[in-house]
A = this chain, B = another copy of it.
């Protein structure tokens, strides 16, 4: 906490002998001011390095152009892209994204939501459907539009924009089955209720429906990356070699696993089929393109922002927006 004491509109006004309201008129562009006065005001503003105090402005107007964006992580490849999509759309409409990162901690999410509301965010984007009860209550009572992203299957507070992770898992598994793989393992993060667990459940259920079973599922405490992909596969091999395909919870893990296979001299897809989820650039820049599901990350961000903006503009927006995924049949399966 620091004291802040900047020039005010009154200071600017006094310096050129007009009233503060005249300065306000010039700065907001509302109302009429003579060209000469306007010029003087702008000159004074520039000279004094005056910066408007938006706190006062927003308090007076009871509105803000700050849009809250709460994401679980910036180190998980998909979210920077989602954010880019959000930012693009918000900027076009003159809104500022205010970004918060939870690190998948629901209590942090709760306090971020509270903080955003306390700063009068005009709308809020949050990740997934998994929240504390208090977060849900706050968002429900918020009186501002709320969009939950990434997931579809669940009970949206207002609106959601995401993909069908279960359907994606089915598409992927069916592709692998068609390729002749039969002994599956899953390595990923499915210890919680987040979207990642929906992918795991989809893989498991699809295999089960087709009369196969999932061997050696295993998981991590936090969103895993390249390193965890290597480690996971290493540990899996210690338990069993009786597998011919591994589905990873995300692309980075799959990439790490591919690196390990290279080292071990395992042929992919000959000895082992490998697939990921996401469709990150890194997977498609490999010597052999990764088999995966491409989620339209940028588009989800854009659509989420547009949904918020449309709602604010009084248009009705559908409660559930299904952004289509795409199976990338790469060379690792």
A binding-site residues for B, Cβ under 8 Å: 1-6, 49, 51-56, 58-59, 61-66, 73-75, 79-81, 83-84, 87, 96, 98-101, 114-115, 117-120, 122-123, 137-138, 141-144, 225-227, 229-230, 252, 255-256, 259-260, 262-263, 281-282, 284-287, 312
* A101–B96 CA distance with the chains assembled, in angstroms: 11
One complex includes copies of this chain to the number of 2
Write out the residue numbers on chain B whose beta carbons fall within 8 Å of the beta carbon of A263: 287
Known: A1-B63, A98-B99. 8 other contacts (CB 8 A): A2-B144, A4-B62, A4-B120, A5-B62, A55-B119, A73-B80, A74-B83, A98-B98
Interchain CB contact under 8 A, A285 and B256 = yes
8 smallest CB-CB distances across A and B, nearest first, come from A74-B80, A49-B141, A226-B285, A99-B99, A54-B118, A262-B287, A51-B117, A263-B287
Please determine whether A281 and B84 come into contact, CB atoms closer than 8 angstroms.
Answer: no
Contact B51 A118, beta carbon cutoff 8 Å: yes
Report the Cα distance A272→B240, complex, angstroms. Answer: 38
List residues of chain B with CB within 8 A of the CB of A55.
55, 58-59, 64, 119-120
Q: Which residues of B contact A1 (CB under 8 A)?
A: 61, 63-65, 122, 312
Provide the residues of chain B in CB contact with A65, threshold 8 Å: 1
Complex partner residue of A62 from B3, B59, B84, B227, CB under 8 angstroms: B3
- What residue of chain B has the Cβ atom nearest to residue A48's Cβ? B141
Judge whether B49 and A137 touch: CB under 8 Å.
yes
> Nearest Cβ in chain B — how far from A131, in angstroms?
14
Which chain B residues lie closer than 8 Å to A5 at the CB level?
Answer: 62, 143
Q: What residues on B are CB-neighbors of A64 within 8 Å?
A: 1, 4, 55
Asked whether A51 lies within 8 Å of B114 as measured between CB atoms, the reply is yes
Partner of A225, one of B98, B229, B281: B281
Instruction: Flag if A54 contacts B143 (CB, 8 Å).
Output: no
Closest B residue to A230 by CB, please name it: B285
Q: Is the CB of A259 within 8 A of B287?
A: yes
A5-B143, A62-B5, A287-B259 as given contacts; A96 in contact with B80, CB under 8 Å: no
**Smallest CB gap from A138: residue in B:** B49
Chain B residues, CB < 8 A from A287: 259-260, 262-263
Q: Is the CB of A281 within 8 A of B96?
A: no
Q: Are A53 and B120 neighbours in the complex by a CB distance under 8 Å?
A: yes
Enumerate chain B residues within 8 angstroms of A118, measured Cβ to Cβ: 51-54
Q: Please, could you name 9 A-B residue pairs with CB atoms under 8 Å apart, sorted by A?
A: A2-B144, A4-B62, A52-B118, A53-B59, A53-B118, A54-B118, A226-B281, A226-B282, A260-B287
